[in-house]
Amino acid sequence: MSVVKAAVMFAMYAHYGAGNPADIPTVTEPPIQEVGLASWYGDGSWHGDQTANGEVFEPEKFTCAHRTLPFDSVVLIVNKANRRRVWCRINDRGPYGARFPDGSWGLRLSNDSAGDYRGIIDMSIATARELGTLDKGLQQVELRYYPAPGAELFNLAAIDLQYDLQYP
């Protein structure tokens, strides 16, 4: 090795010297906001269909459906059984499978979070594969995200009732 090459290598790695602790930024994990069942979109038969936000559904992208979170919110889904985790983006609404008072299951089309729904999130196939839930169908998960400031859902019907708006 030439002296010049040794000097260049020394200069490149000098900041790694002993006694100089490296500044490593800490990454904070979002807080747990919801815990419940996650399901996934099945065999990809919705591939190419339009999602609730207007984009085309692609099962190999890390996307998911939530009843109330704003579109394009990014959530960290953690599989409680194996602790695998994946980030995904909200681009659809759901899940809507619900248990009715008589014990039967069906669809309830509402974004009311107080309903007895089957789960808290529907995932794309890619998201489910990454979490290791393809063979299970339903899996207990934690949803971690930072709620957006003032992220209340806009509900025109509630505003109409509260303010008794009159339309021309």
Residue 158 binned pLDDT confidence (cut-offs 50, 70, 90):
very low
Q: What does the block give as tokens for 59?
A: 């099962």
pLDDT per residue over 77-93, tens digit each?
999 999 999 999 999 99
Query: Cis ω on the peptide bond leading into residue 147 (within 30° of 0)?
Result: no
Which residue ranges form the domains of the chain, and what is each CATH number?
33-146 (2.40.40.10)
Supply the pLDDT for residue 153: 47
Q: What is the mean pLDDT of residues 119-134?
A: 93
